[in-house]
Amino acid sequence: MVAAADHVYDANHGLVYEKTKSSKYVTDGDLKDLPFFQRINWLSTTIIFTPLIAFVAGMFFVELKWQTLVLALAQYILSGLGITAGYHRLWSHKSYKAGMFTQLVLACWGAAAFEGSIRWWCRNHRAHHRYVDTEKDPYAVHKGFWYAHIGWMVFKQEKGRSGRVDITDLNEDKLIMWQHKNYLPIAIGFAFVLPVVVSSFCWNDFWGGVVYACMGRMFIVHQATFCVNSLAHTLGSQTYSTEHTSYDHIITALVTFGEGYHNYHHEFPHDYRNGIRWYQYDPTKWVIALCNLLGMTSSLLVFPDNEIKKARIQVKQQELDQQKKEIDWGRPIETLDEMTWQDVRRRTEEGELLIVIENIVYKVDDFLAHHPGGPQILKFWKGRDATLAFNGETYNHSKAARNLLMNFRLAKLVEKLE
């Protein structure tokens, strides 16, 4: 295999990686030693905070018309799905296939989210999955909630810090490369020009289009997407795996177009669903499934139910194992001293109340007054083997009784009763 000029072939792994490139937004030096303002990536910071400032300021001066609200919602849904259904599930994880028209819509409105090109976004997201929670994770949450949310974009990153991934398929996709090379005009056209033209010519609301359908919409989509990197790695439950900081939570799902069932997604990233139950809020899944019915998408990948059940049971078992460690189960049998029948008889003659069950010697003096069958039964078996009686010949004791008995373990019997 011959790699392109800007790529390198890793013969040890059989993969082609993008070469690390120098950039005016990345420094080779120790970033911590740079003055604060030189550490900031001003391009990303401007893209992130300008919509917030413009939206908040504009709300005080520009009235929100219902037509503009509808337009803003439409732009919000289309650009949000461009990221979740397009950038994420289609191109990052190949969880389904889409027709050219569907891809074109997702590519154009995904660009309108102003989160970078498909190629750039997917490259980082694949690195996130491959190196999650390590130094090579581009937005590792262990560096802090706000670092994962926006810090990794606001501050410059050391060259080559993000882990290498194979994006050969992205580089060979003509639509992706077209969007990558023409990203800025596409993003400006669908994020700003289109909504402003519509609001201006259809109901004469130029500034409303700018404030609400452009800046407000862009700010909200940003925060929704950023929550996948921060909130989804902080809040919720771990149903399928405890090996990485990803969580399932309905709140995260509500603000991220269904990306909030993130623990499932990290364990089964190629599944086109995040919320696998019919009642779980995952509009991205519903849209992909609807498009499949209309013939616009195909080959929807679904992880086998048997494998999903395995993951759930393994996590439950881990939880049970942890709970068992927190419970006093009595002295472990392997740590008990050894006794012979001669030792048992001698100590009972000295006044101790010892009984033997299944070759374990129990000292039950403190339980004598509490025995449900009365103290005489325990006295009867003093110094004797009560195994058969305990296991059903007299009374088949409950699980609770057997658990309680563990607290009275004294020794292991090293010889059988003849």
Closest CA to 226 of 52, 388, 360, 370: 52
Q: Examine residue 255 and state whether it is found in any structural domain, yes or no.
A: yes
288-334 pLDDT, tens per residue?
999 999 999 999 999 999 999 999 999 999 999 999 999 999 889 99
Q: Is 156 within the bounds of a domain? A: yes
Burial 204-225 (b: 16+ CB within 10 A, else e): ebeebbbbbbbbbbbbbbbbbb
Host domain of residue 395: 333-413
Q: Is the pLDDT of residue 4 over 90?
A: no
Q: Are both 275 and 340 inside the same structural domain? A: no
CA nearest to 19, candidates 10, 5, 6, 2:
6
H/E stretch holding 130 reads helix 118-130
Q: How many domains does the chain have?
A: 2
Q: Stretch 206-230: mean pLDDT, rounded?
A: 97
Q: Is residue 353 part of a domain?
A: yes
What percent of the chain lies above the pLDDT cut of 90? Answer: 82
Give the per-residue pLDDT at 352.
94
The reported pTM is 0.82
Q: What is the pLDDT of residues 58-99, one digit of tens each?
A: 999 999 999 999 999 999 999 999 999 999 999 999 999 999
Predicted local confidence at residue 168, as pLDDT:
94
pLDDT at 3 over 80: no
Asked if 303 and 363 sit in the same domain, the reply is no
Together in a domain, 221 and 297: yes
- CATH value at residue 361: 3.10.120.10
| DSSP label at residue 20 | P
Q: Write the CB contacts of 160 (distance below 8 Å, at least 6 apart in sequence).
A: 20
295 within a domain of the structure (yes/no): yes
Q: Is residue 324 part of a domain?
A: no
Burial class for 132, CB neighbours closer than 10 Å (0-12, 13-18, 19+): buried
Together in a domain, 11 and 127 = yes
Residue 192 CB neighbours (<10 A): 18
Q: Return the minimum-mean-pLDDT range out of 93-107, 185-199, 306-320, 404-418.
A: 404-418
Q: Check whether residue 405 and residue 257 sit in a common domain.
A: no
